[in-house]
Amino acid sequence: MRKTTFKLLRIQVLLGAVLLDGSTAAAFCPYQENSRGCTKLRRFSSVPDEISLKRKIQARRKPVNRRPKYYWNDISNMEAELRAFWEYAEVKIAPNEPPVIPNEALLNHFERYDLKNAIVIQGGREEVSQTLGGARIMPGKWADAVQFSPELQKMLKDTPGLSPHSPPLSPQQRKNANKSSGVRDIDDRWSHKEGRKPKGYWNNDTVISELYDYLEECQETLGRPSVWMPRPSEIGCRGREDLKLAIIRFFGGAKEVRRAAGLVPYRDWYWFMGLLELLVELQRYLDTFHDGIDAVFPSMTDIKNNDYDQLFRLVQFYGGRKFVASRLGMKHTNAGTLKKLDSGGFYRDMNWGPFSISFAIELMEFVHNEQMMKKPPLSLMAISMPSRRRLLESGEKGVRLHKNIEKFGGYENVARRLGLDFFSGT
């Protein structure tokens, strides 16, 4: 026992001697190496405060200019603080009107975090506005506030540090921006992203303009009319994720931006191109296996066995073999089997009259070429049947199409068969 106590006292004396000599506390390693090269923890009866790893109790600084308890629960204090805010910003507010409620970005600029948090505690700006008797609310989006708020428009002229192109930094953004190299400008935060649009670039007009440029590029590369609205997923897959997100942000989706841009809906042109592909594939199949005769629609089993998988899928998509055959004026089986299978059924009485696949292909290609020549925005956002006047003015091909249209039931009937919009005024 005496031997152990002596060793501990010796260690303490040595520690004190070293510290008195001016050596650093880092020299005292709590580990030592034994004869086998392994480390083990030293045992100290007491560790000096200079080398102790115990965290010291933090002395809290008393808040400065802190409002009294329950101060913000009084709505009159809220109104007084808002009036003081605008007075400090040198913006006049009529005394008989409730003060305008600023947005969060403006409160961040003047470092009025107390007022910002108080508005949140009261239930938000709308709730505070209602409590104050219908106070005006500054738009939360900075671009909208710059455009519609007269208070902010005056401050942009008189207040240094405010930019009409970018909102003030939030506390967290300011903290992240304060690096050893200095404070970076907000417009430089995404400078590492190549091709990224500058801050404040996107709005309703730029979204539509960028969409038109994208459609023009698709017309050159894909051979698709520039008046046909693409799917948002396609826009993203073709490397325009920024345009896709801007459409969602400013319009809410493809349906709304299509209307604003005057474009043909995706489902309309997808249906049109699918039917045209079906007719072309069916004509190729008939030329290969039926010597071009289109009197009887081939069986689905033969189409599948002959490896015409795309034709097989398209026939199913457009209503099945019997329906497509009736639409194209073709028999879907011989007369005896037809009577046996369809006696009293739906397809027995469905007769669209005579038709021609080659004529249908020629007419739909004419419509497609007409769509290729159009430029957005369209006043009539549809793929419509060409008028009689337009066909007759287009030359020999148009005259031939007009005669066949009259032969197969007229403009309205042919438009119904091919799924084209028909307007009697055209």
Q: What is the per-residue pLDDT across 208-234, written as a single tens digit (0 to 9) for each? A: 999 999 999 999 999 999 999 999 999
Write the burial class of residue 90 (CB in 10 Å: 0-12 exposed, 13-18 middle, 19+ buried).
Answer: exposed
Token match 């400078």: residue?
A: 191
For residue 375, the model assigns a pLDDT of 94
Q: What's the pLDDT band for 400 if we cut at 50, 70, 90?
A: very high
Q: What's the pLDDT band for 158 if we cut at 50, 70, 90?
A: confident
For residue 44, the model assigns a pLDDT of 45
Q: Mean pLDDT over all residues of the chain? A: 80
| pLDDT, average across residues 123-136 | 88
For residue 23, the model assigns a pLDDT of 46
Between 242-246, 332-336, 398-402, the lowest mean confidence (pLDDT) is in 332-336
Evaluate whether 419 touches 275 at the Cβ level (below 8 Å): yes
- Name the residue type at position 86: W
d(CA 249, CA 243): 10
For residue 190, the model assigns a pLDDT of 46
Q: What's the pLDDT band for 197 if we cut at 50, 70, 90?
A: confident
148: which residues sit within 8 A by CB, 6+ positions away? 139
For residue 345, the model assigns a pLDDT of 52
pLDDT greater than 70 at residue 5: no
| pLDDT, average across residues 348-372 | 88
Q: What percent of the chain has pLDDT over 90?
A: 44
Q: What's the pLDDT band for 40 if we cut at 50, 70, 90?
A: very low
**Chain-centre distance for alpha carbon 85:** 37
pLDDT greater than 70 at residue 379: yes
Burial 118-145 (b: 16+ CB within 10 A, else e): bbeeeeebeebbeebeebebbeeebbeb
For residue 177, the model assigns a pLDDT of 62
pLDDT greater than 60 at residue 46: no
pLDDT greater than 90 at residue 297: yes
For residue 114, the model assigns a pLDDT of 87
Of residues 234, 238, 263, 232, the one with CA closest to residue 250: 232
Q: What's the pLDDT band for 402 if we cut at 50, 70, 90?
A: very high
Q: Half-sphere exposure (CA, 13 Å, Cβ side) for 173?
A: 15
pLDDT greater than 80 at residue 62: no
For residue 301, the model assigns a pLDDT of 93
| pLDDT, average across residues 347-364 | 83
For residue 417, the model assigns a pLDDT of 92
Q: What's the pLDDT band for 66 if we cut at 50, 70, 90?
A: confident
Q: Which of 105-119, 191-205, 265-279, 345-359 has the highest mean predicted lDDT (pLDDT)? A: 265-279
d(CA 257, CA 208): 7
